[in-house]
Amino acid sequence: MDKETALEKQISALLTILAEVHGADQLVLKAGKLDSLELMQSEKLEDRVLALERLIHEDPTIVDQRSPGEVEEVLDELGDYLAELLARRTVEDELERKISARMQERHLDYIKEIRLQVLKEEAGPDNAQTLKKYAELELLEQRNLARSTTELMRPQTLEEVIGQDEAIKSLLTKLSSPYPQHILVYGPPGVGKTTVARLALQYAKTKSYTPFAEEAPFVEVDGTTLRWDPREVTNPLLGSVHDPIYQGAKRDLAEGSVPEPKLGLVTEAHGGVLFIDEIGELDLILQNKLLKVLEDKRVIFESSYYDPHDPQIPKYIHQLFTKGAPADFILIGATTRDPSEISPAFRSRCAEVFFNPLTPPDIVRIVESAAERLNAELEEGVADLVAEYTIEGRRATRLLADAHGVALYGGANEDETVLVTKAHMQEVIQSARLSSYVGTKASATKEVGRVLGLGVSGYLGSILEIEAVAFPSKEPGKGLVRFNDTAGSMAKDSVFNAASVFRAITGEDLNNYDVHVNVIGGGNIDGPSAGVAILTAIISAVKGLPVPQDIAVTGEISIRGKVKAVGGLHPKIYGAKQAGVKTVYIPSENWDSISQVTESVEVVPIANVAEFLKVIFQTDIPDLGWRKAT
């Protein structure tokens, strides 16, 4: 084969490949556009090579014909270029095929996801497993026991609350008003603070002049269990912000980096009452934050992730971050602590209501009322027996419920009125290992060297049994005065004050006697309030003068014989009533703090020890010299 023939075959092969790539018809049309149709049909080798160059490079401006010596080299270049073009075309086709397949796959996945979402929206978030658990919960809801004792015994109206008439009136006047106040409620446990607060709101709703609507909420929370995170990750009382990265906001918000505020109990109580039981146990920092909410009447939320210019943030989130959440409510805080232990900032913003300890007659009425709810009949003396062992209304009803259970266990017919006897109650008291609440009781007798003082712990008053004995010392002027150390240093100081007043009154030196003063039971006397009682016991022991055992006295004694004011007067008087004391002597400086003379006990003010000693000893006690001088 000669060289020209080989070149002819090479040109034909390249044109055949182009025809396969573009198609024969398309190749003709393309040759016409590139002004190469006549060149392709030419008999001259150089013309066909020029046409081939134009077709392969798709360039009609190529006009230079190749010389016979250049044809072979040009054909080799065109072959290489065409091979590269075909390889690229093959790769592109393969990529296009893969892309098409992947797009088809993605399209199918998208359709599947849309289908699942539509099914989920129609069927809800539940599936067979969650529906099964829901059905189990529904079955549990249908399985109920009888009402608990606490629920059954709880007063349903304010009239059923026993022993707190003054406190109820005070609370209602502060809450049921056109301008209700925040309130702090003080009192021992089990006297009805929570119940009265709940019923007081119901009462306030019935008055047209109060701002409380019919749907005003009563939100209750216990300060001892209320926890929060100082980083504001969680704060159930005031509310918190769930940042999208760390605290896990909702998925649609987290994907857009939008923080999500969570509203707290203060907003839930908006328009109503927020009741915090044991508010004195609340964290101090949280107390300060709550005070800020009380002033602003709304909660402000903050987050470094909040962008006020982000168009993707929902309107309600913009509202919470710019204006805050409304929190206009009335706070009622209950506590068993002494007012001195409550934050002064809280006390300055709240009215204060004091619930009294329950007296034995109150406990008797509570037990009798509870017996009616239980459809039980009480043997005579059962209610009085309960009153000896508790001053808490809640515990009293619980003891009755336990005794009722003992009666049923013993064979009583539950369809008839169950008789609860003293034996049933004694069994309950013994099993609970209770001891009588009133350890010392007053009597109509008189004793030498024994006097009843008054003490208080929290809101509970009690009787202090103070006794003294005196003997002439072996050597005049070298007598000893002994006092039990467990009573406290301030009580010991009262003994020394009493020694000075003893000398001023009697004209004798107490150092001529060996005197032993004792507080029975070893109770700690927090303060100098037993001063008058200690002096009385010493004079009685030295002079042999009997002291009535149905009176009690409290007051600090000064070395000039004056009776100074003391604290805790109300619970002290209630403690005296429980012990059966007929007359209580208090400092005259405290008289204004006693709103009225309480029932069943006479309260007598005294300004100096001389007038008190004259009354109880029924003998002349000389006035002190410095009183005459004044």
pLDDT, tens only, 288-321: 889 999 999 999 888 877 888 887 788 888 888 8
Q: Which CATH architecture fits 360-431? A: Orthogonal Bundle (1.10)
Strand partners, 240: 262
605 burial class (0-12, 13-18, 19+ CB within 10 angstroms)?
middle
Residue predicted with more confidence, 388 or 51: 388
Judged by DSSP in three states, 458 sits in: coil
Res. 245 pLDDT band, cuts 50 70 90: low
Known catalytic residue: 473? no
Res. 548 pLDDT band, cuts 50 70 90: very high
The per-residue pLDDT for 351 is 93
Angle (deg, nearest 10), helices 24-33 and 45-57 = 100
From 529, 562, 577, 588, active-site residue:
529
Does residue 150 register a pLDDT over 80? no
Give the residue among 492, 433, 499, 438 at the shortest CA–CA distance from 463: 438
Cβ-based neighbours of 334, under 8 Å, separated by 6 or more = 184, 185, 186, 187, 193, 194, 197, 275, 276, 277, 278, 279
Does residue 71 register a pLDDT over 60? yes
The reported pTM is: 0.68
The per-residue pLDDT for 276 is 94
User: End-to-end alpha-carbon separation of the chain, Å?
Assistant: 158
Res. 97 pLDDT band, cuts 50 70 90: confident
Give the residue among 554, 544, 595 at the shortest CA–CA distance from 576: 554
The per-residue pLDDT for 414 is 62
Does residue 132 register a pLDDT over 60? yes
Sole residue written with tokens 């009133």: 438
The per-residue pLDDT for 504 is 83
pLDDT digits (tens, 9 = 90+) for 156-198: 888 888 888 889 999 999 999 999 999 999 988 888 899 999 9
Cβ-based neighbours of 15, under 8 Å, separated by 6 or more = 27, 40, 52, 55
Tokens of 293: 């909410």
Does residue 604 register a pLDDT over 80? yes
The per-residue pLDDT for 251 is 58
Q: Distance between CA atoms of 529 and 549, rounded to whole angstroms?
A: 19
Task: Quote the percentage of the chain above a pLDDT of 90.
Answer: 17
Q: Distance between CA atoms of 594 and 592, rounded to whole angstroms?
A: 5
pLDDT digits (tens, 9 = 90+) for 5-34: 777 777 777 777 777 777 777 777 777 777
The per-residue pLDDT for 628 is 39
Judged by DSSP in three states, 216 sits in: coil
Residue predicted with more confidence, 243 or 591: 591
Res. 625 pLDDT band, cuts 50 70 90: very low
The per-residue pLDDT for 626 is 39
Q: Which CATH architecture fits 446-629? A: 2-Layer Sandwich (3.30)
Does residue 629 register a pLDDT over 90? no
Residue predicted with more confidence, 86 or 531: 531
Please, what is the average pLDDT of the chain? 81
Res. 490 pLDDT band, cuts 50 70 90: low
Does residue 581 register a pLDDT over 80? yes
Judged by DSSP in three states, 279 sits in: helix
Known catalytic residue: 572? yes
Q: Distance between CA atoms of 172 and 498, rounded to whole angstroms?
A: 46
Q: Which CATH architecture fits 154-354? A: 3-Layer(aba) Sandwich (3.40)
Does residue 155 register a pLDDT over 50? yes
Least confident range of 122-136, 330-344, 508-522, 532-546? 122-136
From 303, 572, 577, 588, active-site residue:
572
Q: What is the mean pLDDT of residues 552-556?
A: 89
Does residue 522 register a pLDDT over 80? no
Q: What angle do CA 544, 616, 436 make, to 5 degrees?
A: 90
Least confident range of 372-381, 437-446, 484-493? 484-493
DSSP 222-277: ETTT----TTSS--TTTEEEE-TTTT---HHHHTTT--EEEE-HHHHTTTSEEEEE
The per-residue pLDDT for 43 is 73
Length, in residues, of the chain: 630
Q: What is the mean pLDDT of residues 581-586?
A: 90
